[in-house]
Structure 1
Amino acid sequence: MDCDGVKALLNERNGFGAFTGVEITDVSPGAASCRLDIRPEHMNPFGTVNAAAVYTLAETAFGAAANSYGRAALAVNLSIAYLKPAKGPRLIAHAEELSAGGRMATYSVKVLDAEGVLVADVQAMGYRTKTALEDL
């Protein structure tokens, strides 16, 4: 499965992402980007984007990058640092593979606000299975 197929499949099958409004916008080998158009339900009581929405966006970008080779990959660990309060109207996440060896791969995910300000930094690790995405 090519990267466009991975993008289409993950956007179609990611019920939680669709529920929260996360969209995978680009997938290339070892990398992916996602966006989240901020809605009122994404906000916390303090007028900024809820940390869970930021995390969901980052995790989806990581997942798309980890699955970009057409094989099912599972999250092993995600560590997120919230650097600045996230504000709308849109957040973007860019995931990039840093290293891969055997079944394990490490990714960096940057979450940016609409002005390009870094609001969260994520380090993620994934486990690559032998299962083709088409077979799920």
Structure 2
Amino acid sequence: MSPFPPSASSTAEAVKALMLGQDAFSQLLGLRVDEVGPGYCRLHFAVRPDMLNGFGALHGGVTFSAADTAFAFACNSHGRQSVGLSVTADYLEAGRVGDVLTVEAREVSLKHKIGVYQVRVTNQLGAELLLFKGTAYRTSHEILPKTS
């Protein structure tokens, strides 16, 4: 059972379905969304050989992209189109082939025009691979059509 109110959860789910259906890159990475709610997203993916850099470690761009996707789902979950203004990313450890990584985005602050999110990427052993902070600009554009 979701810890989020039903109407807020249904908005977040509808936005996720719309965004994911049009996001070929996230599909290419094999990202699987486990849960979304207001200001929240948790997803996971398995590290494949084609995701490695020249040293045999998970390419930082893959890790960043997965974090950016969770950030996008979390900041758009309220139903207003949001775009990233700035992000910082601290790489703490490298992923390896066969790792299953969990990416969890949480809203830290939500104001009328700005939202701040913290994203953590961990492996199946709980080791932190990436700490990501994103700031989003909240436009006035409603993502979902109004229902009468």
TM-score range, shorter chain: over 0.9
Secondary structure, counterpart of 1:41 in structure 2: helix
TM-score normalised by the chain length of structure 2: 0.85
Q: Which residue of the other structure, out of 43, 48, 51, is the alignment partner of 1:34?
A: 43
CA RMSD of aligned residues (A): 1.4
Which runs of 5 or more structure 2 residues have no equivalent in the other structure? 1-9
User: What amino acid is the match of 1:41?
Assistant: D
- Paired letter, 2:19: L
Work out whether 1:11 is the aligned partner of 2:20: yes
Provide the identity percentage.
27
Match of 2:106 among 72, 80, 96: 96
Q: Which runs of 4+ in 1 moved over 4 A?
A: none
Which residue, 82, 85, 92 being the options, matches 1:76?
Answer: 85
C-alpha distance in structure 2 between counterparts of 1:18 and 1:130, whole Å? 28
User: Radius of gyration: which is bigger?
Assistant: 2
Deviation at 1:131, TM superposition (A): 1.1
CA contact (8 A) 2:47 2:95 kept: no
| Number of residue-to-residue matches in the alignment | 135
SS in structure 1 at match of 2:144? helix
Higher strand share: 1
SS of 1:58's partner is: helix
Cα distance in structure 2, aligned partners of 1:4 and 1:78: 24
Alignment partner of 1:134: what SS? coil
